[in-house]
């Protein structure tokens, strides 16, 4: 199987769906003439033309609104945010229009739209460009929220998202666009709401999603050297969440660590903790541990970034806490 970059997997997904359905189009800042801020849409303008790969002004509220209007009139827009930090400008349109369209119209209007772009920390970009809003959007009925961790999942999930009749928030990372992974040439789809066990294990369950899966898998590899077998689960989507896969894993391992980049209050980690203690409490041999970013805006200094974000050392510490509890 060939290896391609994360950005190439996204590009293939969009291009294949645009060839398959003439109602699909891409719109956002610098997606056309500049080939995308992160070169995800490179070459798409040449193939599909300016009516289907559309550059916009710096006006997220405006072009997100155009997208929602197009979606309710039979088109299937892909709206790219240069970063999900900028989606806050358009959050009224996303939350109060796209997410509620089907419900408030009494089922008369679907809103088949994908909002996609990078999320979270990407180095020294400052507090306003380094935030995670997966849990914000996941808190909203009517939205689906997808956060892939590798090129294979990214392509299959994006194709599914574009075909979905509901609005989908599709969150990536600048730090993953150059990642390579095996992606088949034949068409495939991955269902939204189905987690994937990336590494089987027997002693402790580690749950994560998105780029922090790299941290979870690296910590599991280090723990293996100490004879601790970690089962690593990639949620892949955080609305809906595949609770069943997590609960069944915890029933096997009796221990749970959740690793997530977002702030701790009202996080996905908090939600999973509640669900597991409700449905697998008698199986737990230790309190659930979570590894989140510190509850502060992300600083600019690299030493402080390292101190605040989840990392392998913090994850290993959490694993040892559930393994060696007195």
| 0.75 surpassed by pTM | yes
Is the pLDDT reported for residue 326 higher than 50? no
Task: Tell me whether residue 190 is in a domain.
Answer: no
* Active-site residue (options: 17, 60, 134, 174): 60
pLDDT-derived band at 225, boundaries 50, 70, 90: very high
Mean local confidence (pLDDT), 137-153: 98
> Which structural domain, as residue segments, surrounds residue 51?
3-182
Task: Tell me whether residue 187 is in a domain.
Answer: no
Mean local confidence (pLDDT), 65-89: 97
Is the pLDDT reported for residue 190 higher than 90? yes
Task: Tell me whether residue 191 is in a domain.
Answer: no
Residue 129 among the catalytic residues: yes
- The answer to whether 117 and 83 have CB atoms below 8 angstroms apart is yes
Examine the domain organization and report whether 77 and 221 are in the same domain.
Answer: no
Share of the chain above pLDDT 70, in %: 99
Query: Which of residues 122, 152, 182 is at a domain's end?
Result: 182
* Measured distance CA(124)–CA(115) in Å, rounded: 25
Q: At what angle do helices 151-163 and 6-20 cross, to 10 degrees?
A: 30
Examine the domain organization and report whether 136 and 210 are in the same domain.
Answer: no
* Measured distance CA(168)–CA(114) in Å, rounded: 5
> Of 318, 315, 82, whose CA–CA distance to 212 is shortest?
315
Task: Tell me whether residue 188 is in a domain.
Answer: no
Residue 16 among the catalytic residues: no
Q: Residue 324 has what pLDDT?
A: 87
Domain harbouring 306, CATH code = 3.40.50.920
Mean local confidence (pLDDT), 206-219: 98
Q: Residue 132 has what pLDDT?
A: 96
* Measured distance CA(155)–CA(144) in Å, rounded: 16
Examine the domain organization and report whether 98 and 123 are in the same domain.
Answer: yes
The count of domains in the chain is 2
pLDDT per position as a tens digit, 266-294: 999 999 999 999 999 999 999 999 999 99
* Active-site residue (options: 8, 29, 129, 261): 129
Mean local confidence (pLDDT), 78-105: 97
Task: Tell me whether residue 79 is in a domain.
Answer: yes
Q: Residue 325 has what pLDDT?
A: 64
Query: Which of residues 154, 182, 210 is at a domain's end?
Result: 182
Task: Tell me whether residue 234 is in a domain.
Answer: yes
């Amino acid at each position: 199987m060939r290896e391609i970059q994360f950005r190439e997997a996204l590009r293939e997904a969009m291009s294949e769906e645009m060839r398959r359905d003439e109602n699909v189009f891409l719109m956002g800042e610098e997606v056309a003439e500049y080939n995308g801020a992160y070169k995800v849409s490179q070459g798409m303008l040449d193939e599909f033309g300016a009516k289907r790969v559309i550059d916009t002004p710096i006006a997220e509220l405006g072009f997100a609104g155009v997208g929602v209007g197009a979606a309710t009139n039979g088109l299937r827009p892909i709206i790219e945010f240069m970063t999900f930090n900028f989606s806050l400008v358009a959050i009224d349109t996303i939350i109060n229009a796209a997410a509620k369209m089907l419900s408030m119209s009494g089922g008369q209007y679907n809103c088949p739209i994908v909002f996609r772009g990078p999320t979270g920390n990407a180095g020294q970009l400052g507090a306003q460009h380094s935030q995670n809003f997966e849990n914000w959007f996941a808190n909203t009925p009517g939205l689906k929220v997808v956060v892939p961790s590798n090129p294979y999942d990214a392509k299959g999930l994006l194709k599914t998202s574009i075909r979905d009749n509901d609005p989908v928030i599709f969150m990536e990372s600048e730090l993953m666009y150059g990642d390579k992974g095996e992606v088949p040439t034949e068409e495939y789809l991955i269902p939204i709401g189905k987690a994937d066990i990336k590494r089987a294990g027997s002693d402790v369950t580690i749950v994560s999603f998105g780029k922090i899966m790299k941290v979870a898998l690296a910590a599991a590899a280090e723990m293996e050297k100490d004879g601790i077998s970690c089962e690593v689960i990639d949620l892949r989507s955080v609305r809906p969440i595949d609770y069943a896969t997590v609960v069944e894993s915890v029933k096997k391992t009796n221990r749970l660590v959740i690793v997530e980049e977002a702030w701790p209050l009202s996080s996905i980690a908090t939600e999973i903790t509640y669900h597991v203690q409700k449905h697998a409490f008698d199986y737990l041999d230790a309190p659930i541990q979570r590894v989140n970013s510190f509850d502060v805006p992300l600083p600019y200094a690299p030493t402080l970034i390292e101190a605040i974000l989840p990392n392998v050392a913090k994850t290993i510490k959490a694993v040892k806490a559930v393994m060696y509890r007195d």
